[in-house]
Amino acid sequence: MAFGRPAGGPAEDPDLDLVRRAGAGDGPACAALVDRHLARITALAGRMLGNRADAEDVAQEVFLRVWLQAAKWRAGEARFSTWLHRVTLNLCHDRLRRRREVTLEAAGDPPSGEPPPGADLQQAAVAARVQAALAQLPERQRDAVLLCHYQELGNIEAAGVLGVSIEALESLLSRGRKRLRELLITEASDLMGDLR
């Protein structure tokens, strides 16, 4: 099983030196670590949660954990970026669970149709439909699609983040994409037209 083992082994973790220096309180190393990962982590949280405010909160929480962990980081267990993605997904899952509890209590609509910020109207409508479809996927399938499609993690690293084998990752991905096609297929040509 390919669990948490990056290609080339954890000794080749490209973040290892920065993490160690950040743990020792080296300011430029902390800044470099943030610049290297903040955009991807914020993007992942944004796509998981569907809004900027929650994405920013999660990204800040992720880095609080980075600062706590950096001084005691042990090489060889997982790549730093694998751990970072895992922490981000866990924090997003917690928020989505709390959101579901609140939604059930309030018996309101799920917040999935909200158009993402920063896009024009048509594109925003398409994005909102796709985001809603992603939100309907079972948790593990959505995680797999987000990690491989948007985060562009290699299959070994994505499998490591999810703690599954490559075969299991591919099964999650193909079922996830199949479900997305079913959810979007009736409107696919309209949506594609909106994108042109």
Partner 1 sequence: MTTEKMTLERLRAVIESYGASATRWPETERAAAAALLAESAEARALATEAAPLDALLDAVPAVAPTSAMRAAILAGAPRAKARRGDGWRTFIGELGGWRLAGGVLAASLVLGIVSGGWLSLGQTTEASSPDLLQLAQLDDSLTEY
C-alpha closest to that of 34 among 7, 64, 4: 64
Rama region for 50: left / alpha / beta (φ>0; ψ in -120 to 50; rest): left
Q: Candidates 88-96, 102-110, 135-143, 180-188 — which segment interacts with partner 1 by CB under 8 A?
A: 180-188
Residue 186 binds to partner 1 (criterion: CB under 8 A)? no
Q: Is 1 in the site for partner 1 (CB under 8 A)?
A: no
Q: Which is nearer to partner 1, 99 or 177 (CB)?
A: 177
Long-range own/partner contacts, residues 155-158 (CB < 8 A, 24 or more apart): 156/2, 156/5, 156/6, 156/7, 157/6, 157/7, 157/79, 157/81, 157/82, 157/85
Whether 47 contacts 150, CB under 8 Å = yes
Closest contact distance (angstroms) between CB of 179 and partner 1 is 11
Q: Quick one: 101 or 139, whose CB is closer to partner 1? A: 139
Which spans of this chain sit near partner 1 (rule: CB under 8 A)? 7, 22-27, 30-31, 34-35, 38-39, 42-43, 45-47, 52, 55-56, 59-60, 63-64, 67, 70-71, 116-119, 123, 126-127, 130-131, 134, 145, 148-150, 152, 154-155, 166, 169-170, 173-174, 177-178, 180-181, 184, 188, 191-192, 195
